[in-house]
Amino acid sequence: MYIQITSRCNMSCKHCGMNCTKKGEDMSLETFRNALKESDGCITIGGGEPTLHPQFWQFLMEAVACSESVWLATNGSQTEITLALVVLAKKGVVGVALSQDKWHKKIDPKVVEAFTKDKKTYNNYDVGTDLREIRNVEGHLIKAGRCKEGKEECICNDIFVEPSGKIRGCGCVKSPVFGNINIEMNIPENWNYGECYKNQEVRVR
């Protein structure tokens, strides 16, 4: 399950499929807890930039406490928070990906070093318990649905919970709505997560 805890972001990358801005919406703790109850144990905490959420650490720790795996991507702009996340990732507590490509703004070099130091292989979850990774979408942009040309694949091929609690079939703009996590959800048993991308409207700034 992808839980979009905020639709706010402090960067405005032209390739971003979420099309978030500085004036987004933050998810409430109640909504987050309701989403955790309905998850399958594998959680992606997303945004926007998730570390901008005022209750980020509480959300993360509650997800870790009740989930088999927790993963998130960050632009690394919140230096101290990101460095703390690196410590957790190196211990295998949570998977953390640092987005580094031509669209993202420059960040503190200490953050980039923290994701690369003493790590022999990147983007590989089989290297011990070290769950750090560098995320660069430049090479597969056409297949990732992150720009106007990329319509071959959904940007988030999983149940997608928006900050308001609205449940979508995936991350595509035109994916069906299956209710609200706070009220009622009705996900069809035969829902095919790979089908909706065919009719998606890719979000582009």
Per residue in 83-140, pLDDT (tens digit) is: 999 999 999 999 999 988 887 889 999 999 999 988 765 454 454 589 999 887 765 5
Strand, helix or coil for residue 167 = strand
Give CA–CA dist 107/96, Å, rounded: 16
CB 8 within 8 A of CB 20: yes
- pLDDT-based confidence at 197, cuts 50/70/90? very low
Distance CA(180)–CA(160), nearest Å, equals 11
In angstroms, the Cα distances linking 8 to 12, 71, 97, 163 are 10, 18, 18, 10
Whether 48 shows a pLDDT value over 80: the answer reads: yes
Residue 73 maps to which CATH number?
A: 3.20.20.70
Taking each helix axis from N to C end, the angle separating 109-116 and 79-90, rounded to the nearest 10 degrees, works out to 10
Parent domain of 91: 2-199
Residue 205 in domain:
no
* Count: domains in the chain: 1
pLDDT the model gives residue 162: 94
Residue 204 lies in a domain: no
pTM of the predicted model as reported, rounded to 2 decimal places: 0.85
